[in-house]
């Protein structure tokens, strides 16, 4: 592989690593902002109307909650049901919603910080790989 090819690969890796790291940072920032300035509420888990029989696990359930102003909001759950934390029809979940945009919620204790942190770590690793590629190309 010649030097030009290595530099092109490094530039692509830098772009990809930056996108991954920034996506993770943006997710963490939004989660923290909502937790800091948001309003806590209890949400009712409802079965998604498009879910039928065995296909019920493929669609995320709906979350229905009432805002401070009395507006009833129904959104798709931002987190999937897992074996550890299943989301059954009729369950109640503690959420924090953004008063400016009630469709933006954080579900407790499922904030998914680990996923955002994994994006940051993977992006940083790709950036380091890109710098190693540039170092090899310079030699």
Helix or strand holding residue 22 (H, E): helix 3-37
What mean pLDDT is predicted for residues 44-59? 71
Question: Each residue of 54-81: pLDDT tens digit?
Answer: 555 567 889 999 999 999 999 998 888 7
What mean pLDDT is predicted for residues 21-50? 92
Q: What is the pLDDT of residue 79?
A: 84
Kindly give the interhelix angle for 3-37 and 113-138, rounded to the nearest 10 degrees.
160
Mean pLDDT of the chain: 87
């Amino acid at each position: 592989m010649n030097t030009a090819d290595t530099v092109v690969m490094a530039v692509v890796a830098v772009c990809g690593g930056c996108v991954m790291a920034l996506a993770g940072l943006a997710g963490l920032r939004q989660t923290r902002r909502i937790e800091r300035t948001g309003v806590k509420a209890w949400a009712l888990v409802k079965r998604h109307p498009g879910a039928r029989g065995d296909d019920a696990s493929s669609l995320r359930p709906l979350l229905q909650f009432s805002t401070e102003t009395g507006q009833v909001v129904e959104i798709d759950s931002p987190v999937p049901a897992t074996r550890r934390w299943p989301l059954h029809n009729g369950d109640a979940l503690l959420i924090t919603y953004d008063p400016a945009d009630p469709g933006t919620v954080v579900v407790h204790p499922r904030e998914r910080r680990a996923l955002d942190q994994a994006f940051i770590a993977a992006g940083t690793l790709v950036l380091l790989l890109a710098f190693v590629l540039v170092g090899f190309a310079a030699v």
